[in-house]
Structure 1
Amino acid sequence: MEILRPEQTPDLGMSKSTLYRAARDGRYERIARGIYRPADAPAADWDWIEAATRRPEATICLTSALAHHDLTDSIPDAVDVAIPRGTRIPATRSAIKWHLLAKQTFDLGRSEIPVPGTELRIGLYSPERSIADAFRLRGDLGYELGRDALREWLRRGGKPAQLMSIAARLPRARGPVLHALEVLT
């Protein structure tokens, strides 16, 4: 078992205090409150582990997704993670910035990828969804992020029709994306 939570200890034939002692002795690493993994486990991104463990529907979005797809030079100071609006934002110790997105469009452009070094999976928005989100949230993210990501995406052979099909289904995205495409193409 890669990730261990205190409530799982009875299934493994150990008590919670045994887990805590093993963590104190260095056999387990404490990722965050209630999340442990073996000390000899392969290297992994603890922020991704905490997000995927706290919320199974957690999805890497916005600047973090654009950086994952190599569409921006911006390095986010925290992992941008989306969860459906109406769910509780979990208390986390890691550098995670939680975003609440509409339930109706939450799965649009979403896929799941493995968290490197673990057996966990985490959601990731497609380049098209990430670009459309950058345009519709440009007031918070800055106007350059979406434009620069779109320019790089087009340079790599991105298809404007695919982007427009996503943008048309998101609120406040179609107009700004269409305008940017007209200027850049």
Structure 2
Amino acid sequence: MVSIDSKLINFLKKKGGLASYAEIIDAGFHKAILKAVLNSGQIQKIDRGLYRLSDGSTLSSPDLVAVSIKIPKGIVCLLSALAFHEATNEIPHYVDIAIPRGAHANKMK
């Protein structure tokens, strides 16, 4: 029989190693299971409401990935887009993102 912990790990693997808290809860996992797997070290909390597999590959742009998951309708723009496409040698201090008119964006740190 497959444990609920391994089901959560398999779910994260299917999602590419990253998932938001809402996606995990919507998939039917209880927050106590998430906390237990987090405490066991099999997954890591990389930002508020964002989790990844501990043994996952290293991300080249973890900030851009976090923003794209938290703000799915957002578009990376300006200096952040230039840096991602290696069209500048300047390193952005924050992620520039554009959202459609009327869309809601959560505050991110």
TM-score (norm 2): 0.69
The AA in structure 1 aligned to 2:101 is R
Amino acid at match of 2:33: T
The AA in structure 2 aligned to 1:59 is I
Change (3 A) 1:22 1:67: same
Consecutive unaligned residues in structure 2, runs of 5 or more:
1-11
Unaligned runs of 5+ in 1: 94-185
Q: How many residues align?
A: 92
Please name the residue that 1:81 is paired with.
97
2:39 maps to 1:24: yes
Separation of aligned partners in 2, 1:87 and 1:10: 22
Question: Kindly tell me: are residues 17 and 47 of structure 1, through their superposed partners in 2, closer, same or farther at Cα, counting changes over 3 Å?
Answer: same
Normalised to the residue count of structure 1, the TM-score between the two structures is 0.44
Contact 1:32 1:92 in 2 (8 A): no
Shift of 1:64: 1.4
TM-superposed CA distance for 1:10, in Å, is 6.3
**Alpha-carbon distance in 1 for matches of 2:86, 2:71:** 25
Q: 2:77 corresponds to which residue?
A: 61
Work out which of the two has the higher radius of gyration on C-alpha atoms and give 1 or 2. Answer: 1
CA RMSD between the two structures: 2.0
- CA-to-aligned-CA distance 1:68-107 (integer Å, 9 cap, x gap): 23332221111212211321221223xxxxxxxxxxxxxx
CA distance in 2, matches of 1:15, 1:68: 36
